[in-house]
Chain A
């Protein structure tokens, strides 16, 4: 009932559309009897989920590396197919909050270093085997130790994973982390049967089984007979075609060959809406960065960094980089959709007088060299040039060196003092801050090293009291914004588009396509 009231409140506030409200109600199992009388049911009838049908998806972000090995995913298509075939212990809810999936409940001991997860009973894999603690332990261990897993970094914090009984596991961490459940919602952390290694023939507890997958081309999936959720898994079949070319993707949608696409061209949004397509805009955490190493000259001078920050035209960049689909950044990596986003922090705007003032105070007169590459997002060069121009007006001389995309991540990133980069969103603020701003973190691109910051972050992680955590995290954001080495002009929103025949793709504050769960959530309208 509490969940229902929350949904109702969000609907009343205009946060949710009718359709999202209805699918939300369906998801928590609250029926028509529970107060849907407040709206006209007739108007909603067509939008109600129904079983059956085939969904054809045209997706960007596929490549020959799309296997069904959860450790291997780096892009949309792989992880989206994964969410169709597998389930997780913990699901990332629509507002980036952890909600139960294969784990029914969890509990932390004070200090948040020792966690117990109770597993759901009676869930079957697609081969009929019951899901239990051995599977969970094996699946989590895939990401620990010597592994190519994309989540290996964060999983270093995991000290031990133990089976307690058939339906209980215990996770011990090196140090307290109240956000462990959120960490388990990372798209790599999927539940597979104990000992499974044959990734060409994946076995999961998800809504679909693989019919055929061709890496970089696409895949077809049929409904699994053993799927356990109610209110999810409507479709009989899903056909995915990898369409990496943006225009080709749009053409496929317009010519009716696919029913939904991701990564829609922002320029086409107005036309698509006029043509009765549903465009879903999700405020994600993707943000481009120009990183300055705070221990390299002249960026070790905090006035010089401030001069840079004040000379950046964020509004203009949001428009030119993302056609305005997103929000301006404030030089810290937490997006406005995050529950711990610091709403008190004043938004920094371009102020060339202030920039010139700080430049003068810093005493820096030399040119600085920025290394930019398309590897760090298609918008990188555009962003670099925009900063070069406005910084020039404030008296800061910036040279741009265009680096080839091929070896950018191995040869330039983390080595250059002034480079373009980007981050995809992380499910929690603590995860984002730990991965790129904690002293000693392998991807700390700005070399930000601040004892007070690290202490605040560690305290926030170990703190189970939400209000206290918030004050710590707000202070972290303030410190980064005022003293940190990252220039963050804007956050980009994700755009997914579908024909009006497709329902169930709702706004998610994580990634696009309903945070990758489109296969189990979407339905074809009757």
Chain B
């Protein structure tokens, strides 16, 4: 088992390295350059040249890649070209915000989805099953910005129950944060719920047709016990990978929700920085997103291995 896990870890690092090369070359081929993006139509040849050499844009790319990689490994992400701040200083609060919203949504959505999925599986075909299925299908079919605007319209503008702006600062206390983030959390909850819930339901039901489940019926176990004790453990692997996929989405894919609710997360920073050609920030964000994906998939693999006795104890 350890061999299996260390293999996965090594592969993860390799992927991360490949991603860093892709990210760097990706930022190299962006059309136009930062200097003209900053100056827009205020640019003259003179102030363009001055800004370019100030930003170090006139040196060859491989040199800058090696320099960047070694600095990044040493924890130095460089200086934002747009505002001359340390990239870490700019990225870390945004990353914290992103992780906070993701955890907030995940802590509610994951257990809820799994429980609803199991309940739906137990009562397959019932009114409850059909309602949950239909409702989650509806929320996942609606584009998330539309869902977000609907929530804002009814819960923030018609009734002043929840704020439409999630403008947190680093000093915002924990509970006001929860309140300010309620609508974005709810949007993400509604968007991610369906996927996880339906996968739980489907995986459990797939197991339910196995002979050993029939055996359990025949020995007279109640249905909930069959599902929880016999079906669920064997259905865990696909459920875990769907949950992890959704967690990754909650971290890297929420830029639309961030925009609608004006939440200062990492996604908005990335979009903003791409449009300003702020390469160090784009690279840092790209690397964070890549690591998130790789790390979470690694976790899914490891958990999958752990949940499967055949892989846990290979002969």
The residue that B164 contacts in the complex, of A216, A252, A410, with Cβ under 8 A, is: A252
Query: Is A65 a contact partner of B82 (Cβ separation < 8 A)?
Result: yes
State which residues 249-274 of A face B: CB under 8 Å: 251-252, 254-258
Q: In the complex, how many angstroms separate the beta carbon of A178 from the nearest chain B beta carbon? A: 24
Judging by beta carbons under 8 Å apart, are B281 and A72 in contact?
Answer: no
Q: Is the CB of A404 within 8 A of B31?
A: yes
Task: Say yes or no: A58 contacts B50, CB within 8 Å.
Answer: no
Q: Tell me the bound Cα distance from A200 to B32 in angstroms.
A: 28
Is the Cβ of A216 less than 8 Å from the Cβ of B50? no
- Chain A: minimal CB distance from B231 (Å): 44
Confirm or deny: A474 has a beta carbon within 8 angstroms of a beta carbon on chain B.
Answer: no
Interface size counted on chain B using CB atoms at 8 A: 49
Cβ contacts B11-55/A at 8 Å (1 or 0 each): 000000000000000000011110011111111111100110010
A245 within 8 A of B: yes
Cα of A427 to Cα of B301 in the assembled complex, Å: 63
Complex partner residue of B82 from A63, A413, A442, CB under 8 angstroms: A63
- Which residues 377-429 of A have a CB within 8 angstroms of B? 404, 406-407, 409-411, 413, 421
Residues of chain A with a CB closer than 8 A to B167's CB? 217-218, 241, 257
A257 touches B40 (CB 8 A): no
Closest to B167 in A: A241
Q: Indicate if the CB atoms of B163 and A257 lie closer than 8 Å.
A: yes
The interface stretch among B58-66, B193-201, B257-265 is B257-265
B38 contact from A148, A153, A241, A242, Cβ within 8 A: A148
Chain A interface size range: 35 or more
B152 to A255, Cβ gap below 8 A?
A: yes
A64 lies within 8 A of B164 (CB): no
Number of A-B contacts (CB under 8 A): 139
Q: What's the dominant secondary structure at chain B's contact region? A: helix
Contact (A251, B152) CB under 8 Å given A63-B276, A146-B50, A216-B269: yes
A212 to B50 alpha-carbon distance, docked (Å): 29
Assembled-state Cα–Cα distance A144/B208 (Å): 78
Chain B residues 140 to 179 lying within 8 A of chain A, measured CB to CB, are 149, 152, 156-157, 160, 163-165, 167, 169
Q: Most B CB atoms within 10 A — which of A199, A244, A255?
A: A255
| Contact of A464 with B by CB under 8 A | no
> Which chain A positions have C-beta within 8 A of B90?
64, 215
**When the two chains form their complex, are residues A64 and B281 in contact, meaning their CB atoms are under 8 A apart?**
yes
**Minimum C-beta distance from A272 to chain B (A):** 13
By the criterion CB–CB under 8 Å, are B83 and A64 in contact? Answer: yes
Evaluate contact between B33 and A406: CB separation under 8 angstroms.
no
Partner of A65, one of B38, B41, B152: B38
- Given known A-B contacts A58-B165, A216-B269, A64 and B80 have beta carbons under 8 A apart: yes
Partner of A64, one of B44, B47, B269: B269
In the complex, the answer to whether B165 meets A241 with C-beta atoms within 8 Å is yes
B85 in contact (CB, < 8 A) = yes
Residue B67 at the chain A interface, CB threshold 8 Å: no
CB proximity to B under 8 Å, residues A215-246: 215-218, 220, 241-245
| Contact of B47 with A152 in the complex, beta carbons under 8 Å | yes
8 Å CB interface, A119-160 against B = 146-153
How far is A442 from B47 in the complex, measured between Cα atoms in Å?
Answer: 12
By a CB distance below 8 angstroms, the chain A residues around B259 are 244-245, 248
List, sorted by A's number, 11 A–B pairs whose CB atoms are closer than 8 Å. Answer: A63-B276, A64-B82, A64-B278, A64-B281, A65-B38, A67-B83, A242-B262, A255-B160, A255-B164, A255-B165, A413-B41
Q: Interface of A with B (CB < 8 Å)? A: 58, 63-67, 69, 72, 74, 146-153, 199-200, 212, 214-218, 220, 241-245, 247-248, 251-252, 254-258, 404, 406-407, 409-411, 413, 421, 442-443
